Amino acid sequence: MKKVLIPFMIVLLAAFLVACGGKEDSKPNDSAEKPTEQDGLLEDVLATGVLNVGTEGTYAPFSFHDESGKLTGYDVEVTQEVAKRLGVEAKFFETQWDAVFAGLDAKRFDMIANQVGINEERKAKYEFSQAYTHSNSVLVVREDADIAFDGMEGKKAAQTLTSNYGELAKANGAEIIKIDGFNQGVDLVISKRVDGTYNDKLSALDYLKQKPDAPIKIVEEEEISKDNQSESAFLFRQGNDDLIEEINKALDAMREDGTLKTISEKWFGEDVS
């Protein structure tokens, strides 16, 4: 009987040890590098020959459709030139402003080119290229209105909910009326459904250039300084430093050879880059 039990116990012990060894091997290796989105995006862009870009397509003079229906504008031309210098083609995906960040998060496109203002809240979640536009904020009101830049307490402001200008309107005490874009905001101002709309000075100047008889006026801050000027840049998901680096190199080269200035002067009559 003992001769039978001994081999049997040996077999059981061996099976137990094998099982224990298997569980140990199945534990995750904490020292191994965890996968990140870290790049590969530049590789994908170069491999496919396409830079996918999210933009509004309704935000003149930055991203809009001309009379022929062609997508054009300052941001569009800057993006196309950057893509050209990367040796790829820029493919644009149009979406409303308040949905453009969700599109980037969902990887519908590689970056956003739509005068995205640089702020701390966005920097906590996303990454920016270097700035390619510098401007300042203004308040657009009816031409007969007596409203100061910081005089919107208790009044209505037409703003996109996620823009810097929406935050500016709130900071000045305004009630926010949601809109999809700047032109819609100006229409609400003219029709007296809101008291004003905050936006970029360049957008307001372009609107008046296109519609010089519009019954509106531009109210600026009393003091313009570096602190209250806005900077806009391309926006990316985090972890794509290699693509951002190449785009920054292209922007640097465009500054050096005057291309960025030329595009800027074409749309605004001055260098805003």
Distance, CA of 59 to CA of 57 (rounded, Å): 6
pLDDT tens for residues 178-188? 998 899 999 99
Q: What is the pLDDT of residue 260?
A: 97
Q: What is the pLDDT of residue 30?
A: 36
Which residues of the chain register pLDDT less than 70?
1-39, 222-228
Q: Which two tokens stand for residue 139?
A: 């308040």
Distance, CA of 214 to CA of 9 (rounded, Å): 96
Q: What is the pLDDT of residue 83?
A: 98
Nearest-CA neighbor of 157 among 121, 101, 201, 195? 195
Q: Are 168 and 137 in contact (CB under 8 A)?
A: yes
Per DSSP, 120 falls in state: H
Q: What pTM does this model have?
A: 0.67
Q: What is the pLDDT of residue 135?
A: 86
Q: What is the pLDDT of residue 6?
A: 46
Q: Which two tokens stand for residue 167?
A: 């935050």
pLDDT tens for residues 213-266? 999 999 988 666 565 578 999 999 999 999 999 999 999 999 999 999 999 999
